[in-house]
Chains A and B, each alone.
Chain A
Amino acid sequence: MDWNSIYINTAQALFNPVTIAFALAALGLAIHFGFVGLLNFGIAGFMAVGGYGYAISALSFGFPWWASMLTAIAASILFALVLGLPTLQLRGDYLAIVTIASAEIVRLLLVSQAFNSVTGSADGLTGFADDFRSVNPFPEGDYGFGPWSYTENQFWILIVGLIILILSLFVVWRLVNSPWGRVIKGIREDEDAVRALGKNVFGYKLQALMVGGVIAGLGGVIYVLPSSANPMTFITSLTFFVWTALLLGGAATVFGPLLGALIFWVLQAFLGSLLPALAEVGALGAFSSSQAGALRFVIIGILLILIVVFRPQGLVGDKRELTFVR
């Protein structure tokens, strides 16, 4: 068994655009669910809107990278408005069904042949990162050390992703410790009490949906930047994986989402290399390596159940900040 390649694969998951994208999406979801208590199961939709917002504005309108980035942010805000204005009045479980359906609607629209010229339908979009790469300050070459080795373009995406992540973490940390943050946490704990204090609950919820949506949308941008935007990535399972990462770290925390995303992807990469390797040397009985690949999702599902039941506050969460009040 090749322990070295298992180690390299696992270590690479630590510093990876996908991990950063997940951390951003989970951070956005932390605002929605952890701090306001909104059961948003449409986080894949926000990521799709952000990623495609970047890709379409770059390809169809020829926007430079910074304008595409702004378009992705604007698209995320717009999606939050379209989603939130009619549905934020709904009770939790109904909101979950509506948001899951909305994300699926976004994906079906992206996959549809009807808008092929703009969205690339089932093939998705590629080649939108050219302008982003043209402002790459790193000269051609290999960067990194040990198991972490990147081309100049991968390294550039990684650096930009990290900058966005750190900025977002700072903004969220400041926000949740501000008067605004106290109000939204109040909404999570007791909506009626906050309303009785004269606060516009609906307005706060909508603002939180937009802030979290923008962060998740930027996660979508980082997700698609390394290669391509493909509608098949923005399936409902993506939402569930982001939820798993969030709950793992701690829903009502600022650094929990980052920790959760790191653990989620390190675990994914580790199991993804270990299980097929075990199957190859026959340690899993008669199972093939593709069967071993299915096993890791079984493990993730069980992990999700165990966290929710036995440690609902997550790894770094505070039990007093009960996020499952309703």
Chain B
Amino acid sequence: MSRRLKGLAPTGAVVVGLVLLVAIIGPFLAPYAADAIDVSRQLEPPSGDHWLGTDENGADVLTQLILGTRVAVIVGVSTVSVCLFVGVLLGSISGFVGGWVDEVIMRVTEILMAFPGILLAILVIFVTQEPSLLAVIGALSLTGWSGYARLVRGQVLLEREKDYVEAARALGFGPARIITKHVLPNVFGPVIVQATFGVAGAILAEASLSFLGLGPQGQPSWGALLDQGASYFLLTPHLAIFPGVAIMITVLGINFLGDGLRDALDPRSQET
């Protein structure tokens, strides 16, 4: 993407900043309370009272969207944090230690990668029966860490052979210190880039799960709103349009930012 879309990275940063702000101060911004419903005004189109209309229960769509931002951000950031922690830990062990440990960890990642997209998350949430925020984050993290582990392993393998690692070994440092203090800081560029795209992916995955009725229950969520919207789109298209726009702008913003970060932090993987 590099030179082609240079101007878009700052736009992405602004969008991401706004989304984070809405997630943090959402309840103060929302025009109505989270549980405020007016059964006499279900599925209304946008109006002065309800800028983005109302949903099937008569709740304000704008309020639901604003509060849903928090869920999206929590799922996106927590999922990627868990994946990063597990992925970086196992990936660096795999790359640095090698041998059968590497073999085992890599085979496990291959098995997890055999479940495309949200398939394993669907299965896990189905069996846990009551999907909570935690269950959704756990289910998405279950497969998500494998990509980071493979990336970190690859980077560590490259770094391991370099002179500075040799020097650190000669100074008598242990493997834990060499990995955390010397190797990891040098491999973080591509990992951060991947993590940025990962947040976008996790937000989309949460929305998909919610759309399928497998998202966190009892929480306003973009995907769940869209699920409603899809059932009533003949009657009230607004209910399907706005949550989708919120998801798209957020994900697009994160992707723009990710492309910008890639240029800054990971010049090697730039498109030719």
Decide whether A and B are members of one complex: no
Q: Which residues of B contact A (CB under 8 A)?
A: none
